[in-house]
Structure 1
Amino acid sequence: MSATRIRVLIVDDSVVIRRLIKEILDSDSRIEVVGVAQNGQVALGKVEELKPDAITMDIEMPVMNGVDCVKALRKTHPRLPIVMFSTLTERGASATMDALAAGASDYVTKPANVGSVMESRQSIMDQLVPKLIALTGSRRLVSGAKKAALPPPQPVPAQAKGPGGAPARRTQPFGLLAIGSSTGGPDALATVLSALPGDLPVPVVITQHMPPVFTKMLAQRLDSTCRLSIHEAAEGDSVERGKVLIAPGGLHMELKTRGTGVSVHLSDAPPENFCRPAVDVMFRSVASVYRNRVLAVVLTGMGRDGAAGAGVIRTAGGEVFAQDEATSVVWGMPGATVMAGQADRVLPLEQMAATIASALTHSQNAAARQAGPVSGGVRA
């Protein structure tokens, strides 16, 4: 990255949009627009010529669209931050998922109210500038060629203590897996969930920072590639073993006890950490229902959402895993959790699923031993 300003290449077939984005970025002293391109094919040449620190990329363009351009760029520039521009439609969400799967770093949504120039400028500025700064300041430290040499998991002393200051012993198995993620989350979630067994012994709840429509599309795509059953959560959904529920965009997801079971409650309460859904809301909720039976995971993402909630989970006796900096697209959320002392383990993404599965199995086995011998088919 430039020693002074972030060098950005704008790729869009619309002259109006190119000019709008350039004006917005030029207004920030931390950013320098070094060039523009009207399609993906032109962009490939511009990248080699201008060597930008980041790219903004439209999806639908003639000659070469944004998704194909991302695929081509990832062959030669695996870590170059690419932010896609998307529409808040099912088609736009689908195309964005394609781009993220191809290796795009993140996306921003185009303003719905195109009639207001001022509102459009503010919307793009609020979304795009923080993402460019975060992405260029948090380049991946591990390339695909170095994945085999990942460091071992880094344990962090647990907060929960028993009598005499010794670590508290779990007497019940984990009852729930809760995951929070943001920037880079769709790819991280796909990596983790696809490696988990279909007979996972606990329910899974996920908050991924995404707008409406996008979360539904994310759930559908993950469901088609994973052994677990994955759905966008709806009001009143039952929380069941082996079932994965993703918080819908625009709504907080909480869990409530209902008789002998647990169900989903969706809320349009004010955003937390500028987010709705927010990870902190979900984490507080699962801690109140499952207490020390929560295993929480904080994956890649901008900001601090999840760090405070992780503290609530650990105070209740649960455990928290955080993704490490080297494999995070942005080490904001997991980094904040680690720096706050609220992570029991800090793990590379590639080791997360196996460690989760091992922790769930170990907790079940430990609880079985604690419960004592079985007599006549009924545990004593």
Structure 2
Amino acid sequence: MVVDDSAVVRGLVAKWLGDDPAVEVVATASNGDMALKNLASADPEIVVLDIEMPVMDGLTALPKILEHSNEIQVLMSSTLTTRNAEISMRALSMGAADYVSKPESTREVTTSLSFQQELVGKVVNLAAARRLQSGGKVFKGGKASTLNEDILPQVSSRGVISKRKMSSAMPKIIGVGSSTGGPQALLKFLNSMKDELRLPVLVTQHMPPAFTNILAEHLGRATGLPCKQAEDGDVIQTGHVYVAPGDYHMIVENRDGQKVIRINQDDPENFCRPAVDPLFRSLAKLFGSATLGVVLTGMGHDGLKGAQEIVNAGGTVIAQDEATSIVWGMPGAVSQAGLCSAVLPLDEIGEKVIDITKGEAL
């Protein structure tokens, strides 16, 4: 179901989604109230929900939609403004599965290929991941998506995952990669560690520029941990959390005996900037076997090559399990590649990390 007060945007979004063989648009609505009235008859798996609408806005409609059915996943749609970034963060904390950044003008919407690809990609990934988790067919009737297979959830065997022995070295740094469902997962992860965190935490979350600073502020307020959007030249400090800024890769380098953050606009990797792989590579190079990598929920396979570098350097990688991931793409990729020493439910990852940092998890 597509919910947007602009008839032009609503029609375009419905067309883009309908053009993918794997997607059926079951209904459209011009505001939250109309969407609620059509939920029972339309029975959607995914609701693309605009934030700013008359009669009933997206934030008001969100909890009512989720109350209607816990099977519905909501993808918030908002323009790239600071205000809407804050509202989107609230929506994610209220149960929205993800968000998509909409260009500010209708004209930009009609010409933005990146918005179209992101929108369709997230809709297909959310639905496919949910169906995989429930044991159903990803695409009904053999109607596979036209999306690049690299960003789709893997449909390979869900057999026994081989796990590696954890590094015997005590970690000195924690690197975290996340995407779809990441803000919620990061909050739970950091909250579960906040009282005993004794290492720096560097986070690469796939987000646009307007969102990453809001995410850092949100995580800091909610956990009480010193948390900021990383700046070039920041000297990393124990117990502090650094979030990669949108549209910049974040890496760590040695400068005059100090470990400092560098940000750059090198080419996107895995269709992403910031990307997890550059961060993980730099940590493996600088900290070697004392690197602890954590891969949380997200679509695609960003972090896979970087996790391999961590393992090659003698470090440890752990990942979120499929059952608690919104999309088991990134954690699934590293898990199925045999790179992880543990694959755990989200609620257990923080405790495991603390045990590892204390040398109690070997």
Output the TM-score relative to the length of structure 1.
Answer: 0.84
Q: Distance in 2 between matches of 1:35 and 1:201?
A: 50
Q: Is the 8 A contact 1:57 1:83 kept in 2?
A: yes
Which residue does the alignment assign to 2:334?
337
Question: What secondary structure, in the 3-state scheme, does the structure 1 residue paired with 2:198 have?
Answer: coil
Q: Is the 8 A contact 1:40 1:61 kept in 2?
A: yes
1:128 matches 2:119: yes
Identity %: 41
Which residue does the alignment assign to 1:74?
66
Task: State the structure with more CA Rg.
Answer: 1
Aligned equivalent of 2:102, options 83, 97, 110: 110
Q: Is the 8 A contact 1:179 1:296 kept in 2?
A: yes
Which residue does the alignment assign to 2:29?
37
Which residue does the alignment assign to 1:12?
4
User: Against the structure 1 CA distance between its residues 113 and 46, is the aligned structure 2 distance closer, same or farther, given a 3 Å change threshold?
Assistant: closer
Alignment of 1:95-174 (within 5 A): 95-112=87-104, 114-116=106-108, 118-120=110-112, 122-139=113-130, 141=133, 156-158=162-164, 170=168, 172-174=169-171
Q: Distance in 1 between matches of 2:9 and 2:163?
A: 50
CA root-mean-square deviation = 1.9
Which residue does the alignment assign to 2:139?
none
Aligned equivalent of 2:228, options 223, 228, 231: 231
Kindly provide the CA deviation profile for residues 190-236 of structure 1, in whole angstroms up to 9, marking residues without a partner as x: 11111113451111000000000200000000100103211100000
Aligned equivalent of 1:203, options 191, 195, 200: 200
**What is the CA distance between 1:16 and its match in structure 2?**
1.7
1:286 matches 2:283: yes
Which residue does the alignment assign to 2:81?
89
Counterpart code for 1:17: V
Question: What secondary structure, in the 3-state scheme, does the structure 2 residue paired with 1:220 have?
Answer: helix
User: Against the structure 1 CA distance between its residues 186 and 168, is the aligned structure 2 distance closer, same or farther, given a 3 Å change threshold?
Assistant: closer
Question: What secondary structure, in the 3-state scheme, does the structure 2 residue paired with 1:84 have?
Answer: strand
Kindly provide the CA deviation profile for residues 323-348 of structure 1, in whole angstroms up to 9, marking residues without a partner as x: 00000000000001111111111000
Counterpart code for 1:233: A
Q: Distance in 2 between matches of 1:234 and 1:73?
A: 39
1:60 matches 2:57: no
Q: Distance in 2 between matches of 1:196 and 1:18?
A: 42
Question: What secondary structure, in the 3-state scheme, does the structure 2 residue paired with 1:34 have?
Answer: coil
**What is the CA distance between 1:56 and its match in structure 2?**
0.6
Unaligned runs of 5+ in 1: 1-8, 143-153, 159-166, 367-380
User: Against the structure 1 CA distance between its residues 258 and 181, is the aligned structure 2 distance closer, same or farther, given a 3 Å change threshold?
Assistant: same
Which residue does the alignment assign to 2:189?
192
Q: Distance in 1 between matches of 2:166 and 2:176?
A: 23
Which residue does the alignment assign to 2:152?
none
Question: What secondary structure, in the 3-state scheme, does the structure 1 residue paired with 2:231 have?
Answer: coil
Question: What secondary structure, in the 3-state scheme, does the structure 2 residue paired with 1:25 have?
Answer: helix
Counterpart code for 1:97: M
Question: What secondary structure, in the 3-state scheme, does the structure 2 residue paired with 1:96 have?
Answer: helix
Unaligned runs of 5+ in 2: 135-159
**What is the CA distance between 1:155 and its match in structure 2?**
8.1
Q: Distance in 2 between matches of 1:168 and 1:196?
A: 19
User: Against the structure 1 CA distance between its residues 313 and 92, is the aligned structure 2 distance closer, same or farther, given a 3 Å change threshold?
Assistant: same
Counterpart code for 2:46: A
Q: Distance in 1 between matches of 2:41 and 2:15?
A: 22
Which residue does the alignment assign to 1:299?
296
Question: What secondary structure, in the 3-state scheme, does the structure 2 residue paired with 1:237 have?
Answer: coil
Question: What secondary structure, in the 3-state scheme, does the structure 2 residue paired with 1:328 have?
Answer: coil
Q: Distance in 2 between matches of 1:285 and 1:31?
A: 39
Question: What secondary structure, in the 3-state scheme, does the structure 2 residue paired with 1:115 have?
Answer: helix
Q: Distance in 1 between matches of 2:175 and 2:258?
A: 17
